Amino acid sequence: MADEKKQNLENKPVLPQPLPERKKNTLPNFFLSLKLKCVKLGYHYLVSNAMYLMLMPVLCAIFAHLSTFTVDELWNQFKFNFVTVVLSSTSIVFTATLYFMSRPRKVYLVDFSCYKPGPAHITSRELFMQLSAASEIFTEQSLAFQKKILEKSGYGEMTYAPKGLMRVPPDQSMAESWRESEMVMFGAIDDLLAKTRVKPRDIGILVVNSSLFNPTPSLSARVVNHYKLRGNILSYNLGGMGCSAGLISIDLAKDLLQVHPNSYALVVSTENISRNWYFGNDRSMLVTNCLFRMGAAAALLSNRTFDRRRSKYQLIRTVRTHKGADDKSFNCVLQREDLDTQRVGVSLSKDLMAIAGEALKTNITTLGPLVLPVSEQLLFFVTLVAKKIFKMKIKPYIPDFKLAFEHFCIHAGGRGVLDELEKNLELTEWHMEPSRMTLYRFGNTSSSSLWYELAYSEAKGRIKKGDRIWQIGFGSGFKCNSAVWRAIRAIDPAKEKNPWMDEIDDFPVRVPRVAPLVY
């Protein structure tokens, strides 16, 4: 039996064994990618410096021609053309004087400060859900929806909420709202004045922005009263302008500094959530409860020439885009009453991402030619001509904004917004890190979030002299605003005091990528 079995095994045909799969040779792909990068880099430098390359032969020819003259010959030329030389010199001096007198005043960011609430205000996701359940207003479906929003939001366990909303039942009184606003505003301003050593009475311009909380007297009047600012101060209070109001305030302060020489401008950006928390079950309005957290920032701008040496940044330009003429854009972020209980809240439209994308597209269409190198503008123009005029079926060229900016501060409005901008602008995780970590650590602090992001880059020691920073803000209306800064000096994190310093070594943290929630 054993012999028969052995014979059958010997007669069984041997099937051919598959060859081991060869590892794909990635070296050719690597060298091809490297070659393409080198070609693009070489093209960028060639086009960007084309003017200098063309001027060099002309200058060489001029110097070669002048070298053929002796000193006596040059002196004779000067004597015989004395009137021409005097008129030319006068014209040059006059033109130079007119240019320097008419050019815009330079605006410097002396310093800025972000408020960090105390441990008593820390609101973990678990505590948030406990407080929501304890209010006995939300249905089981609404509680489950809020829990999913928090899980997919990219938030950590250390965001901050006001004391009034941490009580059972919540305290949404005017007094509690005043306490929240004063705490965050005065905390940020006190820290800023201590860092800059500027006296309150030296401040000539004050701009305060808070979208939803607009009491009487205004928040700007409260700042004037608290710090005893001078009587002729130019004071402005911006309301109802959403999360992009911080950059609108910067733009307003910049314009005021053009016509008021030798001045300081104090810009305060905040939002109040105590009085604007939504206690209802409309899902489009519940999202804002999960996203907004407490915070504020204060920035000191100056047009004084001697302030340049101690300032951190110079404001290069601001670009504002307003899509409010379109009904969809106007209604995508709207404060209203819900249909069931007439409770007031802020609703977010499902079209928000698409509308934000269109607003950003319009904004960068204006900003791009002002900041992008010539090489990128030329590629964009050639692609546009090929697509529009010659009807070629090619993808539109997306300019490489990493050639124009070293750092990006994108409003931390939500994880979905950051994901879309990372994809559309082709940014790396390193570029997105300040925005994502701000969202994780502090949540959406509305118009002040951009300053928490810049503070993160400073705490990491990333800001070097000459670096360019692009701040992008989105807000109701719908608006997309940009501000471009250039670092005047390298920022030493060892000398900085900002809300990240005592925990910056714990960042970045890994935030899982999850699919957006549909509501």
Is 226 known to be catalytic? no
Is 332 known to be catalytic? no
The CA distance from 63 to 226, in Å, is 65
Catalytic residue, candidates 114, 121, 209, 243: 243
3-state SS, 190-250, equals HHHHHHHCCCHHHEEEEEEECCCCCCCCCHHHHHHHHHCCCCCCEEEEECCCHHHHHHHHH
Is 444 known to be catalytic? yes
The CA distance from 329 to 322, in Å, is 9
Q: Where are the alpha helices (DSSP H) in 275-321?
A: 283-291
Q: Please, which contacts does 41-47 make with residues 24 or more away whose CB atoms are closer than 8 Å? A: 43/375, 44/373, 44/375, 44/376, 44/403, 46/375, 47/373, 47/374, 47/375, 47/378
Catalytic residue, candidates 272, 444, 481, 498: 444
Is 121 known to be catalytic? no
The CA distance from 113 to 127, in Å, is 28
Q: Are 321 and 359 in contact (CB under 8 A)?
A: yes
Is 260 known to be catalytic? no
Give the SS3 label for residue 79.
Answer: helix
Catalytic residue, candidates 209, 411, 431, 481: 411
Catalytic residue, candidates 322, 363, 480, 481: 322
Q: What are the distances in angstroms from CA 116 to CA 2, 44, 306, 399, 462?
A: 84, 42, 31, 37, 21
The CA distance from 305 to 401, in Å, is 30
The CA distance from 146 to 282, in Å, is 11
The CA distance from 486 to 313, in Å, is 5
Q: How many CB atoms lie within 10 A of CB 407?
A: 22
Q: Are 256 and 250 in contact (CB under 8 A)?
A: no
Which residue, chain included where needed, has tokens 């917004």? Answer: 417
Q: Are 278 and 345 in contact (CB under 8 A)?
A: yes
Give the SS3 label for residue 315.
Answer: strand
Would you please indicate which residues are annotated as catalytic (active-site) residues? Answer: 243, 322, 407, 411, 444
